[in-house]
């Protein structure tokens, strides 16, 4: 059943030119209109030609016949009357002379009729000549005329013969016989001529009736088809365009309704336009939903991850890298997808340490090797490999770069497909810029709120915000954290003697010593004033004490430059272990603080490890 339906649908599409290009649609529409007008013209011309043909037969044949009959019949009646008028010899002789005049008049009438018929068949315009050429001759009528002519000639010969004077009665008897024979021929000819005239007239009337009906039917069919195809063409253009206008309005108001996609009813330009418009609506809807989702995401990393997902799912781009740019440091890093194992970048790694080497980041313009081969020197050339790099302009500057790489032979079809994919990806990128800018700003503000402005170290708020995450990781890995509570000895004397600027300078240099003395995975926090907390993550027993001693000795050996004076300072450090000393993280900080006070109380410039006995003695500190 479905097969029959599909075949019927294809047949209807074929006869209605649904899938033909618009240009051919209008061409066929014009040809169809021309056909129907031509058909009407042909019918009209054919009928008029036929009417002209019959009219010509009437005017050039039957009418001359009738005119000849009308001229001859009265004269025959007169001749017949003359033959009966008198038996006197002299009167009959006189009547015979009069009869010869009538006979000659009839002969002239017949001759003129024959001449008129023959001349009419030779003259006239092209249509008339064509009509005469198509018309059949009337041999029977012409033969009858010839018979009448013969009879009249015979009567004329009888009336003018030399024997008339010797035997006038015999002449009139013979003449009377010829008159009767001629009248019979004329009577038969008259009936035939009248019948021909009637038949031709009926045929003309019938032809006119048929032509009027035919033209009316053709006009009605033409009007119906003209209405049908005009309505069909109008609907084929207007309905999709009206739907597009409605969808564009919906997009403008942010109310994209995917349930009202354009129905694709043809494979012409309108069908292609509808198909592409549906793709556009899908993209707009996808971008709208995507933007709403990333607006609710909490971190920039999640936004980059989602951006990568839409590249793969919607834009069908598999090979890409998203780089985050740190303009302050002049660096950039891969944020998604991350590098695994021996996986390498498509560009030289120098761009990570110097982002200005990246052409897209430096210029703020899209860089495409499809448009200009070898445009970026940092891209590692590879046979059949092309790249397009798009900078994400945030606050007027490139805040990130998206790099797409493609395996292509650069055929026209492949290049067009790549541009379509990149265009779709760009629509997501452009709509995510405001969100990325907001997330970056929030990240910057958050970082600034978690970092001490003087030393550049994390502050106490950072510890409050991230302690749970830090603790969970350590417990999951079944490791421990060494907590080093550090305090400069006699720091107040520096402020009192040399001023607060000198104290600030001392804290900065001390912070630098801390950074150099620990691993990248470890954390230094300015806990308050001249007090610092160092978190050594995933440590082994005694490692914390070793690092503390390393820091203490380094501080002791360092000569700090303070207002044209070199100072040597010392530091006291208290050490505790989490969760070895306690399963409470903040209590472990308290234990490190207790150990610090023990170091201070026992002479300063010392590292003291927390023990249970110190907790019992805490009230004495």
Q: Provide the pLDDT confidence category of residue 161 given band limits of 50, 70 and 90.
A: confident
| The architecture CATH gives domain 297-450 | 2-Layer Sandwich (3.30)
pLDDT by residue (tens digit) across 114-148? Answer: 777 766 655 555 555 555 555 556 777 778 878 87
Per-residue H/E/C for 185-197: HHHHHHHHHHHHH
Cα-trace Rg, the chain = 60
- In 3D, which of 614, 545, 472, 447 has the Cα closest to residue 534? 545
Q: What is the mean pLDDT of the chain?
A: 81
Q: Provide the pLDDT confidence category of residue 86 given band limits of 50, 70 and 90.
A: low
CATH class of 22-221: mainly alpha
The pTM is what?
0.51
State which fold the 458-620 domain adopts: Alpha-Beta Plaits (3.30.70)
Which residues are CB-neighbours of 270 under 8 A, at least 6 positions away?
Answer: 22, 236, 237, 240
Q: Which H or E run includes 247?
A: helix 168-253
Q: Where are the domains of the chain?
A: 22-221, 297-450, 458-620
pLDDT by residue (tens digit) across 15-37? Answer: 556 666 767 777 877 787 788 78
pLDDT by residue (tens digit) across 503-519? Answer: 999 999 999 999 999 98
Percent of the chain with pLDDT over 90: 24
Indicate the length of the chain as a whole number.
621
pLDDT by residue (tens digit) across 373-400? Answer: 889 999 998 888 899 999 999 878 898 9
Query: Cα(261)–Cα(284) distance, rounded to whole angstroms?
Result: 13
Q: Are 144 and 184 a contacting pair, CB within 8 Å?
A: no
pLDDT by residue (tens digit) across 423-452? Answer: 989 988 888 888 888 777 776 666 677 888
Query: Cα(176)–Cα(261) distance, rounded to whole angstroms?
Result: 102
Q: Is the dihedral of CA 617, 618, 620, 621 positive or negative?
A: positive
- Going from the C-alpha of 510 to that of each of 506, 507, 551, the distances in angstroms are 6, 5, 9
Pair of tokens at residue 53: 């043909």
Q: Are 492 and 440 a contacting pair, CB within 8 Å?
A: no
- Return the pLDDT at 466: 83
Alpha carbon 302 to its chain's center: 33
Q: Provide the pLDDT confidence category of residue 12 given band limits of 50, 70 and 90.
A: low
């Amino acid at each position: 059943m479905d097969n029959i339906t599909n075949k019927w649908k294809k047949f209807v599409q074929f006869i209605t030119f649904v899938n033909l290009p618009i240009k051919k649609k209008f061409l066929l529409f014009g040809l169809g209109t021309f056909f129907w007008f031509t058909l009407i013209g042909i019918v009209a011309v054919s009928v008029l030609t036929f009417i002209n043909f019959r009219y010509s037969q009437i005017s050039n044949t039957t009418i001359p016949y009738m005119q000849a009959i009308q001229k001859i019949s009265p004269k025959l009646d007169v001749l017949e009357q003359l033959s009966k008028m008198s038996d006197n010899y002299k009167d009959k002789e006189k009547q015979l002379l009069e009869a010869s005049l009538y006979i000659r008049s009839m002969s002239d009438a017949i001759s003129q009729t024959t001449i008129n018929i023959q001349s009419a068949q030779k003259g006239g315009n092209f249509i008339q000549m064509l009509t005469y050429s198509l018309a059949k001759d009337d041999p029977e009528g012409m033969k009858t005329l010839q018979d009448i002519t013969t009879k009249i000639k015979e009567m004329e010969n009888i009336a003018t013969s030399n024997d008339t004077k010797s035997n006038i009665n015999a002449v009139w008897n013979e003449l009377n016989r010829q008159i009767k024979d001629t009248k019979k021929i004329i009577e038969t000819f008259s009936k035939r001529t009248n019948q021909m005239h009637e038949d031709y007239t009926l045929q003309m009337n019938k032809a006119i009736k048929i032509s009027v009906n035919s033209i009316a039917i053709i006009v009605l069919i033409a009007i119906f088809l003209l209405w049908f195809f005009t309505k069909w063409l109008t609907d084929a253009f207007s309905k999709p365009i009206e739907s597009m206008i409605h969808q564009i309005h919906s997009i403008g108001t942010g109310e994209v309704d995917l349930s009202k996609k354009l129905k694709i009813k043809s494979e012409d330009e309108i069908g292609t336009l509808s198909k592409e418009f549906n793709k556009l609506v899908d993209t707009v809807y996808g971008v709208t939903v995507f933007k709403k989702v990333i607006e609710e995401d909490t971190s920039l990393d999640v936004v980059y991850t989602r951006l990568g997902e839409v590249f793969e799912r919607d834009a069908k781009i598999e090979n890409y890298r998203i780089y985050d740019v740190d303009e302050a440091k002049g660096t950039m890093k891969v944020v998604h997808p991350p590098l695994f194992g021996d996986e390498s970048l498509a560009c030289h790694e120098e761009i990570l340490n110097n982002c200005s080497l990246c052409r897209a980041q430096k210029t703020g313009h899209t860089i495409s090797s499809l448009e200009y081969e070898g445009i970026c020197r940092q891209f590692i050339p590879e046979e059949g490999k092309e790249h397009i790099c798009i900078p994400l302009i945030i606050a007027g500057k490139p805040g990130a770069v998206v790099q797409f790489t493609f395996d292509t032979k650069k055929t026209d079809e492949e290049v067009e497909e790549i541009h379509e994919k990149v265009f779709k990806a760009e629509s997501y990128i452009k709509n995510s810029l405001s969100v990325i800018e907001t997330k970056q700003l929030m990240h910057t503000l958050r970082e600034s709120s978690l970092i001490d402005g003087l030393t550049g170290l994390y502050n106490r708020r950072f510890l409050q915000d991230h302690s749970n995450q830090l603790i969970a990781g350590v417990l999951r890995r079944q490791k421990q954290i060494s907590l080093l509570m550090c305090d400069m000895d006699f720091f107040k004397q520096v402020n009192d003697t040399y001023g607060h600027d000198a104290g600030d300078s001392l804290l900065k240099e001390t912070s630098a010593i801390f950074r150099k003395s620990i691993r990248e995975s470890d954390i230094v926090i300015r806990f308050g004033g001249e007090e610092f907390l160092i978190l050594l993550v995933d440590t082994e027993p005694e490692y914390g004490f070793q690092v503390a001693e390393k820091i203490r000795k380094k501080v002791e050996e360092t000569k700090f430059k303070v207002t044209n004076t070199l100072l040597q300072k010392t530091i006291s450090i208290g050490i505790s272990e989490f969760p070895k000393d306690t399963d409470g993280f903040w209590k472990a900080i308290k234990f490190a603080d207790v150990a610090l006070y023990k170091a201070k109380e026992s002479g300063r410039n010392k590292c003291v490890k927390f023990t249970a006995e110190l907790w019992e003695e805490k009230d004495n500190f």
